[in-house]
Amino acid sequence: MKKASFLDKFIYFFNSIFATLLLLSYLLPYVSPKSFPVFTILSLFVPLLILINILFAVFWLIRLKRKILLSLIILILGYFISTPYFKLFDTNNAKNDDLRVMSYNVRMFNFFSWNEDKTIENKIQDFIIEKNPDILAVQEYHQSTKIEAFYPYKFIKKKKSTSQFGVALFSKYKIVNRGSLDFDETTNNGIFIDIERNNETIRIYSLHMQSLSIDPDKDAIINENKEKLFKRVGNSFKKQGFQAEKIIENQQNYTGKKIICGDFNNTAYSWVYKKLAENKKDAFLEAGKGFGKTFNYPFPIRIDFILADKNSEINQFTTYSVDYSDHFPILARINWEN
């Protein structure tokens, strides 16, 4: 039997590391960030780990090596026990009476001029008005004359009276109740509204969960002390754990229909997502297509979600690749089974 070359051994060594990391990542949905905040950082890199292991599998396939089995088996295992990373086919069963729900982190409408295009604010506002969702959940919201005039009902919550930014919900349907979750020790927050539609009440959340303060465009992150970086990000995940529990507690006190929208600042491979998605349908998984990328990052990553009741029908889901914010807007058409 022909001995493996040094190059094959060298590549297989790194293959083993990334395959092991991917295997460990399958435990992430069962590990609370309150207990092991540093370990949960791995949830951000699961999409990258999947892509890397696919590349290793292709490499060994081309070379007709049995070493393909390592990544291949772990990828197949993940297909059955983990959240799908890519969807081949979408669903389009749109009905006239669907509730059209959009979630969008607008990054303060470019208030701090992260984009040199001075027309970004108008572009975002015009885009939303063109798509015309019945419900609009906004994170990192800054005052918008057009949007506020377009919707007859709204709930805008700033964390402090002196703040210029916050979380918002806009509705074409009458709001009969509203509330704020008031996350502790953070500028992030979650809010909800109860709307009246077709003689029933529906609760909708707009969540902006704890930010990680990682900007891939900044060289400072690369040069930052890695121990401090991991500690800071770990603490952010820990806060997300407490925030998720607060959201779940609020839901338990409401027995009607519910929709959760927002920027989770975490992926579908995390404990936070697993808890919030329990007994719910992920609109992308039900009706979306492709990677569902919602954050402008070097590799496809999905951190913005629309979740609806298990007895709901997700008749359509769209991710819009418009480069107006660091997030991409998502829109779902939702109905309920009779």
Q: Give the pLDDT confidence score for residue 159 in this predicted structure.
A: 81
Instruction: Name 216's Cβ contacts closer than 8 Å, sequence gap at least 6.
Output: 297, 298
330-336 sheet: strands from edge to edge? 153-158, 166-171, 135-141, 99-105, 330-336, 312-319
Q: Give the pLDDT confidence score for residue 3 in this predicted structure.
A: 64
Q: Give the pLDDT confidence score for residue 40 in this predicted structure.
A: 86
Chain centroid offset of residue 193 CA: 20
**Which stretches of the chain drop beneath a pLDDT of 70?**
1-4, 213-227, 338
* pLDDT tens, residue by residue, 211-253: 986 655 554 444 556 667 778 888 899 999 999 999 999 999 8
Residue 280: name the closest of 248, 303, 245, 319 by CA.
248
99-336 belongs to which homologous superfamily? Answer: Endonuclease/exonuclease/phosphatase (3.60.10.10)
d(CA 212, CA 207): 15
Q: Give the pLDDT confidence score for residue 226 in this predicted structure.
A: 65
- Token code pair at residue 245: 């529990």
Q: Give the pLDDT confidence score for residue 220 in this predicted structure.
A: 44
pTM, two decimals, is: 0.92
Q: Which residue(s) pair with 154 in the sheet?
A: 170
Crossing angle of the two packed helices 6-25 and 46-62, in degrees rounded to 10: 150
Q: Give the pLDDT confidence score for residue 232 in this predicted structure.
A: 82
189-197 sheet: strands from edge to edge? 175-180, 189-197, 200-208, 257-263, 304-309, 280-282
Residue 211: name the closest of 121, 124, 307, 327 by CA.
327
